[in-house]
Amino acid sequence: MSEVGEKWSDLATRMGSGAAMVVLGLLGVWAGGHIFHVMVALICGVMIWELAVMIHAPRTAALQLGALTGAALLLAIYLPTGFALPILLASALVGFGQLTQFRTIYMVFTVMVLLAGFGMMAVRDDLGFNWMLWMVLVVVATDVVGYFAGRLIGGPKFWPRVSPKKTWAGTGFGWVGAAIVGTLFMANTGAGPQLIGVSIAVSMASQMGDIAESAIKRRVGVKDSSNLIPGHGGLLDRFDGMLGAAVFLLIIGGPLIGSPMMLR
């Protein structure tokens, strides 16, 4: 097979799996409420199961930690924030106490997954469908535009030791894709031009989530988090960018979007 053929050999599989995930995800986002909460809790639980398997935890322990994480997240969203946060962090500490290797990696990344899941639920509950859709589209645009730009343009690698396929061209054009999404939403929501900058920041946060997951895979010596999704690997491989974006919005983006200066 030629070099060009190898470069695009996974495109059809990736697009088919990606389209299916987008449809299911949009249905969940549109439904909102309990359905969306359960969907996010299940996804986060599976991601923690993948993480535990990656760091060589026993299969039974990995299943238990995934189930515990999903249950903690689902419970937390129905509690006041002051009671929700210790429940989220406690589930990460339980895994830290049970594991025998890569414990710090597990604890830190589990906290990230839990906060991201909580952040996505909060965005959907507090800001509504449109802003949750905006976040999803920013992450998807970053990934898709970056993928095609990186393959078509090539050029210097972003961090070859950790993510050998990621290029500076793909990274930069991912920001452009996010800016376009921000511009479209600005024109249709009454938000001010700062939304473009926030969209680019969310794009950068999603790329940081991607880089963090890649670094973990290199550290533990695996190529994919699992083989659940054809052409994409596992849920962690597919939703790593969403984790970074959701954590960023939970910390600062959500209040900024709802502030008066964003509506000017």
Give the per-residue pLDDT at 122. Answer: 86
Residue 148 maps to a domain: yes
Give how far Cα 24 sits from Cα of 39, 186, 188, Å. 10, 26, 24
83 and 159 share one domain? no
Q: Is the pTM of this model over 0.75?
A: yes
Final residue before a domain boundary, out of 62, 94, 127: 127
Quick: pLDDT tens for 148-171: 887 788 777 776 676 667 788 888
136 and 263 share one domain? yes
Residue 47 maps to a domain: yes
Nearest to 105 by CA among 70, 153, 143, 57: 57
Which structural domain range is residue 76 located in?
Answer: 32-127
pLDDT band at 257 (very low <50, low <70, confident <90, very high): low
Contact present, 92 and 104 (Cβ < 8 Å) = no
Strand residue runs (E) in the chain:
157-159, 163-167
Q: How many domains does the chain have?
A: 2
Give the per-residue pLDDT at 260. Answer: 46
Quick: pLDDT tens for 124-143: 898 889 888 999 999 999 98
Final residue before a domain boundary, out of 127, 143, 166: 127
Final residue before a domain boundary, out of 96, 127, 158: 127
Give the per-residue pLDDT at 259. Answer: 56
